[in-house]
Structures are given as C-alpha cells and as structure tokens.
C-alpha cells in the first residue's frame, strides 16, 4: 500500500545559516538545478515551461514586493518574500524537468504548465490548475479546487478540508489519495498500476479507469468507486461509506 504520510519529499529545509548566496536584486536568468517558491502571500503564481532554459529559471514582469532569491550549494534556488506584502503576481519560467516545490497557501490562483520533473505543492484557498504532471506530491488543508489535466507520474495527493481534486486523465504508475472533511476526488479515465484511496471524510472518490492493484479504505460517510481492478484488491470499511469495484460499463443504448 502506498503511503500518504509524507506530503513534501521535495520541499526540503533549505539554506542553513551561511550556506546561501542572497541576491538583493534578482538577476535574470538565475542558474540552478531546482527551485522552491516560499511566498505565502502571492496573489497569483504562473509557472511557465520554457524550452529555452536549461539549468536556470527566469522571472518575467515586475517582481512582487519583497521577493528575494537565494541559491544553495546544491543548486537549489529559493524564492521567498519578507513579511507578507499585499498582492503581487509572479511569472516563473523553468525547464520542464526541473524539480519544483511551491509553498504559497494564500495565493488566489496557481497555474502550472505541462511538466515532467517532480513537484511538491502546498496549496490553499486559491484554485490550482496543472496541465500535464510528472511525479507530484500535493497537500491541501483548505478549499481551493485542484485540477490536473493529465497525470503521467506517480502522485500522492492529500486534501483534508474541502478542496475537490479533479484529474481528467491518469496514465501513471501509482496514485495515492487521502481525503477528509468534505474533500472529493474525480478521475473519469485512465490506467494505473496501483491505486490507493483512503477516504476518511464525507466526500466521494471515483476512478473511472482501470488499475492493477487497488487498496481502498473507507473511514467516514464518503464512498469510493473504481471502474475496474484487474489484480490484487484490498478493501477496508470502518465507516458508513460504500466501496464499489468492477462496475458495469456505462450504458450505450440510445433512447428512442
């Protein structure tokens, strides 16, 4: 069974005292191997995949107030804000494969273009929209809707208050999801090797594709439905919610 206990494997504690080079003015581009955005009070964040960049990031437009950059010896670029200035929009350009960590829970909107590198995200009350995603670790303890166009890498997703999670297509090795509160999960289609859903809340979780291994656990009133599981199936019910697996295909009959 997959483990959802560690939501931030890529969001490491960075820049121990004396180990970072802090730039008072943000030079462009900024060379590095990975990037972490720790700007909790941004208004909006747009992460743009830029094929022209290699081992570097670039910032476009006006910098948000009090934004600072530091680079650790291992090549980790950290973007932070001093204090919590109101507003501010950040457009961040990176290579598609660069590891990305985001901790901006107050942002009203986060948009992330198609990516292949690993991502670690803490989201908040603002909506987050991701195009094509590689490996991703995402946690929400708020209400902002989470949308992923195509999931192509293994994912661990955790929504503990009310944020709905929608993945339009999941073609990935593994997907592990933990839900609580009124949070919900909807994955209409896809193919997985392993699916792990732990639903401790009142919202429903549905996967409309095919998975090999399925580990499904209900602890609350919310239901879990899985269209098809072809391999090992493990279910556990500690709550009132239902677990439905290997459902019949949708009717294709046309009404006269």
Residues forming a β-bridge with 236? 217
Q: How many CB atoms lie within 10 A of CB 209?
A: 19
Mean pLDDT of the 109-129 span: 96
Element (H, E) at 229: strand 224-229
Encoding tokens for residue 81?
Answer: 């804000």
Q: State the chain's mean pLDDT as an integer.
A: 88
- Whether the Cβ atoms of residue 144 and residue 164 lie closer than 8 Å to each other: no
Measure the CA–CA gap between 109 and 107, rounded to whole angstroms: 5
- Beta strands 89-94 and 56-60 are antiparallel
Mean pLDDT of the 150-174 span: 99
Contacts of 255 (CB under 8 A, 6+ apart): none
Encoding tokens for residue 34?
Answer: 């990975």
Q: What is the pLDDT of residue 10?
A: 40
Q: Does 37 score more than 60 pLDDT? A: yes
Q: What is the pLDDT of residue 251?
A: 64
| 174-189 tens-digit pLDDT | 999 999 999 999 999 9
Mean pLDDT of the 15-19 span: 40
> Domain residue spans in the chain?
32-102, 118-248
What is residue 243's three-state secondary structure? strand
| 58-73 tens-digit pLDDT | 999 878 888 899 999 9
Q: What is the pLDDT of residue 121?
A: 97
């Amino acid at each position: 069974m997959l483990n959802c206990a560690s939501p931030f494997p890529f969001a490491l504690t960075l820049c121990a005292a004396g180990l970072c080079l802090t730039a008072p003015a943000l030079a462009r581009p900024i060379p590095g191997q990975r990037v972490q955005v720790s700007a909790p009070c941004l208004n909006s964040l747009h992460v743009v995949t830029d094929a022209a960049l290699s081992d570097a990031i670039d910032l476009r437009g006006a910098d948000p107030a009090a934004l600072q950059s530091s680079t650790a010896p291992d090549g980790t670029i950290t973007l932070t804000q001093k204090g919590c200035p109101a507003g501010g929009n950040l457009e961040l350009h990176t290579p598609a494969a660069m590891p990305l960590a985001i901790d901006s829970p107050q942002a009203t909107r986060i948009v992330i273009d198609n990516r292949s590198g690993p991502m670690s995200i803490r989201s908040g009350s603002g909506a987050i929209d991701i195009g094509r995603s590689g490996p991703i670790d995402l946690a929400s303890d708020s209400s902002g809707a989470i949308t992923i166009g195509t999931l192509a890498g293994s994912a661990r997703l955790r929504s503990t208050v009310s944020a709905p999670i929608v993945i339009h297509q999941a073609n990935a090795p593994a997907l592990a999801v933990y839900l609580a509160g009124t949070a919900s999960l909807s994955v209409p289609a896809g193919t997985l090797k392993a699916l792990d859903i732990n639903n401790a809340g009142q919202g429903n979780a549905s996967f409309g594709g095919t998975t090999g291994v399925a580990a499904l656990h209900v602890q609350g009133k919310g239901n879990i439905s899985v269209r098809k599981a072809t391999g090992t199936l493990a279910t556990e019910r500690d709550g009132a919610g239902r677990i439905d697996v290997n459902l019949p295909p949708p009717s294709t009959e046309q009404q006269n």
